[in-house]
Chain A
Amino acid sequence: MLKPRVIPSLMLKGNRLVKTVKYNGELYIGDPLNAIRIFNEKEVDELIVLDIQASIENRKPSIALIREIASECFMPLCYGGGITSIEDIDQILDSGVEKVAISTCAVENPQFIKTAAAAFGSQSIVISLDVRKEKDGRYEIYTRRGKKRTGWDASSFAQMAQNMGAGEIILNSIDMDGTLQGYDIDLIKSISSIVSIPVIASGGAGKLAHLREAISQGGASAVAVGSMFVLHGKLRAVLISYPSPQELGDITI
């Protein structure tokens, strides 16, 4: 049987690994290569690495670092951050990465999704959406690390992204990021029920029960996990962990 993917999601700020809460207050986690080595040893299902600062600084993806990361990964790897052109994607995939996550560039220029999917195939093109729940209950997409409203409704954009050839959607809840309080199940449901491509739920995981909820109630195909796999206890000490196959055993699609 197919097991839903449980995916550590790591945030880079340049060469440093960080973790945020609701996209604020970056806590330094450590050296990314060290963390990736540990996750590789733990045989994680897949890995997402996002440079959260690249787009804000208009910085290109760091190909040298991506190459180093990819050489440590014997599982699928998705890289995002600072992608603005087909050449960027070409270079990243050529570095030994399977998938690229496109966020700002896709939201600002949706046509780019189509061009990218045509050039590299849908299986390589993941759209990463940063979503905030508005006071009236609508889910709106933000860019620039939650700073810039886009006016895009999450579900209409997700549907369009699928039609343009996106292979997967990473659905980040800004409100739940780093809170360990559980995923926004309504948000996941609102997207997974209208697209047929896999939805990766992200933001809020604090315990295994949350992962189960995102899949069984939310309809997510996979779950991305940040704080829960890199921080430990009330003091938020850095400790890298990943559940054993036995612990994950009863989570199925």
Chain B
Amino acid sequence: MIVIVDYQSSGNPNSIKNMLKHIGLDSKISNTVSDIENADRLILPGIGAFDNGMNNLYRSGLIDLLTQRVIEKGIPVLGICLGMQLFTHKSEEGSIAGLGWIDAETVRFKFNAEMEKTSRIPHMGWNTVDIKHDSKLFKNIVDPRFYFAHSYHVAGVNEADVAATSFYGYEFVSSIIKENIIGVQFHPEKSHKYGMVLLKNFAEYF
């Protein structure tokens, strides 16, 4: 069973569950210890500010359990948008430490005056991704494009962990994979068939 972690910053977990159901995968939106202990895969969604997200995770009381499942037991986890950013050590958006599961940090898009004229923040809309390592996460996705809505992105990732990059003003990391820890900056649950195949791949190959 895939468990979508339910905390105050989950945003719209129903749309993830909805797409999983559409592709024939059972999932549960939950914040209970027993569900998370029994999950064979976890999805950490997230919208809003970094500190809010971490505070809400602390409030949920699930951080130690999640860390134990993901880091010690190797349960595959998919972080979406802010969910992926929370995997990093810290963010320019706030002062609270992140989960630190990935050796990286979260930074705001930095544009010079010329770029600012054309590239508004947030980066919102459909963008393409360049797959950097032959990963099963992007298997069978032809001309991948996904829906993004964010002002911050992950940076300083070990090259080996960069799964994909996208271009907005400059090239930034749009997906990371470090063994069982997978992150995507975009929203697969809002990305038509591209998202469906990606979620299917997550369930099948990780």
Contacts and interface: CB of A to CB of B under 8 A. Distances in A.
A249 B100 CA distance: 40
Give the interface SS of chain B, mostly helix, strand, loop or mixed.
mixed
Contact of B147 (A1, A4, A75): A75
B202 to A, nearest CB: 16
Given A74-B19, A75-B191, A93-B12, A3 B127 contact: yes
A43 B192 contact: yes
B104 interface: no
Interface string A86-101: 0000000111111000
Contacts of B191: 74-75
A96 to B, nearest CB: 4
Contacts of B19: 74
Nearest to B16: A96
By size class, the interface of chain A is 20 to 34
B201 interface: no
Given A74-B191, A96-B12, A197-B120, A2 B47 contact: no
B147 A76 contact: yes
Contact of B125 (A45, A74, A94, A96): A45
A98 B190 contact: yes
A132 interface: no
Given A76-B147, A196-B121, A2 B12 contact: no
Contact of A1 (B149, B167, B189, B190): B167
A2 B148 CA distance: 9
B168 A96 contact: no
A93 B9 CA distance: 13
A75 B149 contact: no
Contacts of A2: 119, 123, 125-127, 148, 167-168
Interface in B152-167: 167
Contact of B14 (A40, A94, A253): A94
Contacts of B127: 1-3
Interface string B10-25: 0010110011001000
A168 B149 CA distance: 12
A208 B71 CA distance: 51
A198 interface: yes
Given A2-B126, A75-B190, A196-B120, A121 B12 contact: no
A167 B149 CA distance: 11
Contact of A74 (B47, B123, B196): B196
Given A76-B147, A76-B190, A123 B167 contact: no
A149 B193 CA distance: 44
Given A71-B18, A198-B124, A98 B12 contact: yes
Interface in B167-196: 167-168, 187, 189-193, 195-196
Q: Counting chain A CB atoms within 10 Å of each CB, which of B125, B128, B195 scores highest?
A: B125
* Top 4 closest pairs, chain A to chain B, by CB: A121-B48, A96-B14, A43-B192, A5-B125
15 contacts: A1-B128, A2-B119, A2-B167, A3-B125, A3-B126, A45-B126, A74-B189, A74-B190, A74-B192, A75-B191, A98-B149, A123-B48, A123-B124, A167-B122, A198-B124
Interface of B: 12, 14-15, 18-19, 22, 47-49, 118-128, 145, 147-149, 167-168, 187, 189-193, 195-196
Interface of A: 1-5, 40, 43, 45-46, 70-71, 74-76, 93-98, 121, 123-124, 167-168, 196-198, 221-222, 253
